[in-house]
A and B are shown apart, each in its own frame.
Chain A
Amino acid sequence: MTEPVVSVGVDLLAQAVADQAAPVTRVDWRPPMPGTEDDLATVALDPVRPEADARALERMLGVQALLVDVLPAHEAVGLERGEFMHAGPPISWDRASGPLRGALMGGAVLEGLVDTPEEAEALFEGGLHVRLEPCHHRRAVGPMAGVVSPGMWMFVLEDPATGARTHCTLNEGLGKVLRYGAYSPAVIERLRWMGDVLGPLLQRAVRSADPVDVTAILGQMLQMGDEAHNRNRAGTLMLLRDLGPALVASGADARDVAEALGFVGGNDHFFLNLAMPACKLALDAARGIDGSTMVVAMSRNGTDFGIQVAGTGDEWFTGPAQVADGLYLGDFGPDDANPDIGDSAITETAGLGGFAMATAPAIVRFVGGSVPDALATTRRMREITLGENPRWSVPVLEFAGVPTGIDVSKVCRTGILPQINTGMAGKVAGVGQVGAGLVTPPEEIFPKALARLAELTRGRAAARTPA
């Protein structure tokens, strides 16, 4: 035999093959997460699963995300006065963490619902005139707190093949910003400028230029050291390259244009808010495929970490959000950090961020790691994914595509959790960013999702077998 025997299990049997001078590949098998054996077997043997997973991956990889418009949220996603979107799975004010509360308070001030953030607290506690809803429920994503109010401007991304759309707000920059829970007058003032000047300017530029191919830029930025979650420097500059001429030619006040160009160019994370909806657009195409074990969303609201899966509809599987392990700004420390927050883990769900760590070695140093760690992380994520994305490749790994399509079953089998690169918000409302680092989802949400997949599989089997 020229091709090896793959041996999984007892090493003695692998050794017996090796003793015959035949090549053998040993699988480093470990018992799966406790109590998952039956569900894993049920899902593995589900006759519709292989094709369902293949279709989920294929649909996801087929999506092209074009930036086609910039609109206020009330136009883009129909958000009404008093309605707010937020990151993560559904949550009520009483369970909301500091940064989410801070961002909602700032949002209420921005919308003129109240005059001060303090009044906003009473507004949300009363709950009568406000409504909270996850971004994901309205074809949107938001980084960190992810708060969107009707007046905030949003990028509109569209897949030309299907007309499907997703949305995300414009990125405010780093430090004291609303998405990290800050709501000081400077924060509100910046948001007003973004709504009054930046949003309309970008709208004119986007409408007059050729649509920006966000999927293609993502492919290029991965080759330039960005992993599109915590590092978006190259992507941001490429966006400026694509929109710069149209911005200048828009006929708008030159000082406004200069300010807009300076704002975008000075914010290395500006492109994150395009990477995220591009990832969501791709993953949304894989939703609602019976039998597929592929994760289509990973998302956190600062209290809960939730995932959604292609084969389980809109159900969220949640567990407690973890605190990231990383480096802190100034004299902030672990006690100041809020648990994981934001829809930005949509990038990892699509194979970017932590999954593309190998292409952005700088990011691994957030936890004191090394370049080999970065390579190992991307390779390790292959153990829990269904395939690779040929459009998003990593030069240092011989241009291998990023690991794509997190498989609930493989996570339960290997115990390897998705690696997420993330920013850290202060846990007290109003503080803002305190650091950045690496985090994983709580382990228990994967067996929960698996159990539901297995239940649905058994239901289909029962329906096939006449009583």
Chain B
Amino acid sequence: MSTDHVELRTGAYADSVTLLQVSRRVQQLPGVVTAQVAMATPLNVEVLERMGFAVPPEATVNHLVVAVRLEDSGALDGVVTEVDRALTDSRRQGSGPAEEEPPHTTASALRRGPASVVLVSVPGASAAVEAMDALEAGCDVMVFSDNVPIEQEVALKRFASARDLLMMGADCGTAVVGGVGLGFANVVAPGPVGIVAASGTGCQQLLALLDHAGVGVATAYGVGGRDLSADVGGLATRTALTRLDRDPGVELAVLVSKPPASAVARELTAYAEALGTPVIPALLGPGRPDLTARAEEVLRALAREVPEWPVRGRHTRAGTGIRLHGLFVGGTMKQEAEALVTAAGVPSDLVDLIDFGDDEYTTGRAHPMIDPTLRLEHLAEVAADDETGVVLLDVVLGHGAEDDPAASLAPAITGLRPSVVVTVVGTRYDPQGLDRQVATLVDAGAEVHLSNAGATRRALEILGAGVTEG
């Protein structure tokens, strides 16, 4: 048989929300059938009466009613103690103000404060949305993400262009802006050269060669591999060149790209000629000067001495295989090698060049500059093949790349029968330590170049010896 306990307390005001919480807590106590702790407002009295409690007629809005229905009266003292505790606890909850949550969108981040640039690397299907947040807030953006539909890139670049903003990318791997490297970027000293690059690793090769020649770089803008296509029309390239032209510290601008669509090339040439700053177009492709030749052209234009491009660990013995395997992490490194191989007239069935940064190899895994696993597996396979004469590799240093790529590559090339030729793309300031990386690879038996074109020619030379002897 249950028993009811109803008591009125005076001078014990609490707000209705607190009391609803107290009531809930009391309702959950063992031995309690139901309970209500409330100020005796007409509404609450009605509620209590509907629950079957007899509320004393003297109750007024200034009374606190404690109404408890117990399974048996023995539990009363314990329950009343708990009611008191619940009422006391209710007055001292909470702590200091909460930490602000991180922003969930680029727009939210930019609403909290201005940014120098926005770096977008979300999946391609969502990249345009974040990039648009940046542009709407009047901020330049670099889209590292790939798989961004071309029409979205065009729309973003039109929006940016109309507002004198720079939309780098999509699929822009490298930029150096305001002295900070974005994406995969080498650390360079400030200097007279400005770069606009449609190719990330092409830009990095140029940064590395100029650094060796003692020439710094003011700014390197990436524009994405499709910027000079007919669809995009060089929208970002124009803005980037204009920016460089306005920078009094830039004496010379270099445009690194595959040859643009012909209409785009005409427009861009006219545009570049109208600028006060000379622009060297470093257009890459079969039959065109390679990046190293372009770097030399830049140095001559600046009246600087062209240095010997360093080679360490020169091979002295000839190889025995007939085939060249090029395993690259940089797309432009591979394309440059391909052009040189074609120009040298090497039969295509004797050459196999792979870009492990290509979409085909990056689906579901990190870029090979970050995760070397796939290339190392492939390296073991080709090294075991008796037909392999030379293995040509690139190692890209800089921020964003592996912490110590030579350390993971060295064991894989140590003691290999085929000759190993490596291009290490890096500057003396890169966090991995250029000299240390080169030394590790030389110790492992590799011939190490700074120039990818030089490394490729050398690989062909070694292969030629191998062919002759085989």
Contacts and interface: CB of A to CB of B under 8 A. Distances in A.
Interface string A330-366: 1100000000000000000000000000000011011
A6 B134 contact: yes
Given A3-B114, A330-B36, A383-B103, A17 B21 contact: no
A376 B132 contact: no
Given A328-B20, A382-B111, A414-B105, 10 more contacts: A3-B115, A6-B106, A7-B121, A16-B181, A27-B130, A41-B128, A362-B17, A370-B95, A371-B94, A373-B98
Contact of A370 (B50, B93, B126): B93
A9 interface: yes
Interface residues of A, number: 64
B15 interface: yes
Interface residues of B, number: 75
B105 A413 contact: yes
B438 to A, nearest CB: 22
B100 interface: yes
A139 interface: no
Interface in B97-121: 97-98, 100-121
B303 interface: no
A19 B399 contact: yes
Interface in B185-202: 185, 187
A383 B108 contact: yes
Contact of B125 (A20, A38, A371, A376): A38
B48 interface: yes
Interface stretch (A43-51, A65-73, A83-91, A240-248): A43-51
A22 B180 contact: yes
A45 B132 contact: yes
Contacts of B155: 45, 47
Given A27-B109, A40-B129, A47-B159, A366 B94 contact: no
Contacts of B399: 16-17, 19-20
B96 interface: yes
B431 A19 contact: yes
Interface string A74-97: 000000000000000000000000
Contact of B95 (A16, A50, A330, A372): A372
A379 B430 CA distance: 40
A5 B20 CA distance: 47
Interface in A389-442: 396, 409-410, 413-414, 416, 435
B362 to A, nearest CB: 12
Interface in B144-197: 144-145, 149, 152, 155-156, 159, 177-183, 185, 187
Contacts of A329: 20, 47
A232 to B, nearest CB: 14
Contacts of A12: 370, 400
B118 A330 contact: no
A50 B159 CA distance: 11
Interface string A1-43: 1111111111011101101101001111111100001101100
B115 A25 contact: yes
B108 A382 contact: yes
A29 B159 CA distance: 23
Nearest to A416: B104
A396 B97 CA distance: 9
A327 interface: yes
A459 B36 CA distance: 59
A262 interface: no
A453 B181 CA distance: 38
A28 B114 contact: no
A8 to B, nearest CB: 5
B34 interface: yes
Contacts of B134: 6
B182 A1 contact: no
A9 to B, nearest CB: 3
B359 interface: no
Contacts of B103: 25, 27-28, 383
A380 interface: yes
Contacts of B133: 44
B115 A414 contact: no
A239 interface: no
A376 B171 CA distance: 36
B101 A45 contact: no
B180 A20 contact: yes
A57 to B, nearest CB: 13
A44 to B, nearest CB: 4
B399 to A, nearest CB: 4
B407 interface: no
Contact of B120 (A8, A365, A376): A8
Contacts of A383: 101, 103-105, 108
A174 interface: yes
Interface in B358-416: 370, 399-400
Interface string A263-282: 00000000000000000000
B352 interface: no
A272 B369 CA distance: 60
A330 B95 CA distance: 30
B136 interface: yes
A368 interface: yes
B46 interface: yes
Contact of A40 (B34, B121, B126): B126
